[in-house]
């Protein structure tokens, strides 16, 4: 599903997150350029689901979402692609994710 560049904001992220909790068939979600910010992105990340690819690029996601990103990667065995480009994660935001990646890569 492609929903990029629709100015959904945090409320849209919350609505999509609620829908994803019921998801059993959707495999790809492109939701870049929607100004989700951390609040909206975290609703989507916490929903979990069986997505193989998730595009959250250009959504003003900040470092505070690092733990939610880490949990999403840890708890989604189907995930093959996660796009977080052009956000505001900084080193502090990706630090939790790098710990998970080291664990995955060392298997």
Instruction: Say how many CA atoms lie within 13 Å of 23 toward its Cβ.
Output: 21
> How much is the mean pLDDT over the chain?
94
For residue 106, what pLDDT is reported? 80
Instruction: Tell me how crowded residue 80 is: count the other CB atoms within 10 A of its CB.
Output: 11
Return the closest-CA partner of residue 60 out of 97, 85, 94: 85
In terms of DSSP bridges, do strands 81-83 and 28-30 run parallel, antiparallel, or are they unpaired? unpaired
pLDDT in tens, 63-102: 999 999 999 999 999 999 999 999 999 999 999 989 888 8
């Amino acid at each position: 599903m492609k929903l990029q560049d629709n100015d959904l904001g945090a409320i849209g992220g919350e609505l999509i997150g609620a829908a994803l909790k019921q998801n059993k068939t959707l495999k790809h979600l492109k939701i870049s350029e929607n100004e989700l910010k951390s609040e909206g992105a975290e609703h989507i990340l916490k929903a979990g689901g069986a997505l193989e690819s998730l595009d959250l690029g250009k959504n003003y996601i900040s470092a505070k979402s690092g733990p939610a990103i880490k949990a999403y990667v840890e708890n989604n065995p189907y995930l093959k692609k996660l796009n977080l480009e052009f956000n505001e994660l900084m080193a502090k935001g990706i630090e939790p994710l790098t710990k998970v990646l080291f664990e995955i890569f060392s298997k």
